[in-house]
Every structure is written in C-alpha cells, then in structure tokens.
Chain A
C-alpha cells in the first residue's frame, strides 16, 4: 500500500469525526493566526526601524566663539573616527537660511532675524554598524566631551523605545509560539484520541488479522499532521487576505510619511517554518494520543 492509501485512510478517519476535527482545526488556525500576526508585525516593524535607523544622525552644536576654520578642522577630525560616515558643516548663515526655508509661509515674522542667533553645527551621519541605540548614545557621549561642543542632539531616545518595542514583539511571538505548540499538541491529541475511540473496533479487527502496528497507527499520525498543516495553512491564508486588505488601505499614507517603506508579508522561508511547526506539532499530538491510548 502506497502513501496515497494512508492519506486516504487518514482523511476518511477525519471525516468520520468531521465536526470535532473541524473545531480543533479552527482552534489551531486561531492560535496560528495570532502567532503569525505577531511575526508579521515584528517583521514589518523591524523594516520600519531599519529605514529610520538609516536616517539617524547626530547634530553637534558648536559654541558661539568657534570660528569656521576650527569647525572645518573638527569636521575633518571627526570624519576620520570609526563609525562616522559623513560630516557636514552647517554655518550660522546656512542654519538661518534653512530655518527661513522651512518656515517660508510665515514671511513677516522671520524678517529681522540675524544669523548670530543661530548656532553653527556639524551634522554627523553614521556608518551602518553604528546605527544601534547603544552605539549612538556612546558616540554622542564622546562628542559631548569635545570642548567646542555646546550641545549634542540625536534621535536615539525614540529609537531606543521603538527597539525595545520590537524586542518585546519578537519575544512575544516566540512565547506565543511556545504556547501555541502546547495548544496544538493537546487539541490534536484529544481529537485523535476521539477518532481512535470511534475506530476501536476496526483497530481491534486489523490487529487480529495481522496488521502491523505501523499500518494501524500511521493514518492517525498522518491525521494529526494534516490537522496541523490545514490549521496553520488556513491561518496563513486568512492572514494574507487581511494583510492584503490592510496594506491596500494604509500604503498611500505610508508613502507620504515614510517614502520608500513598503509593507511585506511573511517571507517564504518563514511561511514554510510556520507550516512545519503546524505539521510537527500535529504529528506529535497524534503520537501522544496513540501512546496514551495504547490499550485501544
């Protein structure tokens, strides 16, 4: 008898306790939906954070007395430091022009502003490896020690908070994943046990006529695996559908605020892993139920 025969028997077994199997697949699908949603959120949030990390820069405001020559010398010195990708000198004049450009609509209010009131600064862009909150903070602390520095500003605080949020999200996904495996195991084990109970006469007859234990048990293992696969697959389909709807609505707003940032669905390898977890935990549920119901 080939593999197809066992699949047919597994499906027949599932059909005989159809409602129970449907209900347990629904429970599995709900659990997987939650897990996959967390994964999807953490992936997209991670991308969002990466995009913003690229834009992070440190602004070193220079003290009033620091002349342009010294500022340019500082620029050259800083450019040589590890982790710094690019340094741009913004003179008092440039700072004023930029301010006026940004607030062009307020015309009259801006009249009479003098460049002296604007601080000159150095805009420091960081290398990729140095865009983590810890490294930004460490670099900012070192820059503060430069005697020409009046103040050092960086967008690290919100980045740190968002990173923490992403960290919680990722851990949440894994904790949820662990809970999910337990749910799938127990739901599958109970459903298969019920099927076993319904099939006890057939199993008894099979054993009496000389069917091997593998022949008797394999369809039940398979039913467990199938249940996990269908539950996980169903949840991914639902998630994909909802994701598609959501991204259609939200994409125009994203492009306004975040430019190139695009939402993405779970990558194929992660989809395969989710399905794999579904099959493996369903299979384990089947094995557990058959161990507990060894007398049948």
Chain B
C-alpha cells in the first residue's frame, strides 16, 4: 500500500488538473471576448508587428530588384511608394524609379572599388514568372499588418497578371477586404480582376462604382486627396461603360478623371469624340446615372 500511495496521489492530481482545465476552458474563451481568431503574430508581437510588416514589405521589394537595393545607410534613396512594383515598362513611374535607384555613386577608395565586385550593382526587376518570389514576403507582411492595403494590391496584381492565378488573387483581395472593408484601392483591384481575368464587365462596373463611392466618402473632403486612384477608377469605369454602350455615364466618368488628371487633354479629346457619337446616335438624351 505504501508503495502505491505516490502513484495514487499522482493519478489524483492528474485527474484534478484535467477537471480544472475542462472547467476553465469555456471561461477563458469568454474572457477573450470572442477574439480567439487573432493570428499567432498578433498575440506574440502586439502592435509592434507593424514594424516587422514594413520590413517584410521591403524584403519583397528587395527580391523584386533581385538583390539590388539601398542599404539602411542609403535609405534616402529607397523607393518612397509602391507604384514601381506594378508599373509598366517605359511608364513615367518606371523612369522616375530608374532615376531613384541610381544610388551607388562612384567608389570613394580602392576598398570600396574592389568591394563592389562582391555587391549586386545592376538594377533589374524580376520577370518571366519569377515575380512569384516576392509573394511569401507579401503574405507575411499581410499576416503582420492586415491594414496595409498595398500588400494586397501588389500581391493580387502579380498573381493575376503574370502568374495566372486569378482565383488566389481574388481570395487574397477578399481577405484584404475583410480586414479593410472600406478600401477603395482593394475594390478597384478586385474590379480589374473581374474585368481583365474573368471578363465579367457587369460585376467589374458594380465593384468600381462602389470603389468610387468609397473614394468620395474617404478622400472627398481631404486637402490632398488620392487623385491618382480617382483617375484610375473613373477611367476604368468609363471604359467599361463605353463598351456597354452607356456613353452618357462614360462621359460623366471621363470628366471626373479629366478634372484630376495631370494630362487631361487626351481625356478631353475622348469626351468630345464620345459626345459626337452620342449626338449622332440618339437625339433624345437619357438621364445619366450620376
């Protein structure tokens, strides 16, 4: 009996532990106020995770440049926005980015000159499907900071445009929208996906309409609104409406774009052309939607 006593006590304690655990489990979930879906990152890092999210996004940019990137000592030369990540070759953004990334001046001494042989010194961007390499960092960045919109739009752009994965792009954008329900950037990107990948223009128009409403709510009263996004939304909406034969609304949206565009002349010409088509097609004007 004496030899069995410690084992019996151990079994008793184990049963007691199990009973207390089962009793407390439901209460602990209630303490958490139903927020048990928080990611491990959020639990571990708290708000400090946003700093790491930024670093993960920078890493994606480093990969995009195949290792050619300013160090912490050349940070004044680091890209300031994310537009170069989705800029087309030969575009104004791309040219500005090329100028910005010319951060390596002439070497100051023989050590630096020789050291350049062991440093990536050629500016290039990933291509031919290798853009997939930036995706893990973008995924990590989104995990760490779900409120960072650029992470979703950049990842979705490459997923649908170059990697042929529109379903994954849509899923990621929807994840972004769940975390940022009022984001006009995410809605605009979702509209592009419907239009360009699924060729579902009607759905794209609806999403862009919503994006325009969200833009007006959020940016309309700002001193320096995000006019570039407004221009993109309005132009895409106008194109879709033009293809659907809804020239009246297309003109309305092109006028919105022309007001904020840095190069409005081409848009004004298009408006005049559409106006001419509209006048020759129907003498009785319809009421525009906006």
The answer to whether A and B assemble together is no
Q: Footprint of B on A, CB under 8 Å?
A: none
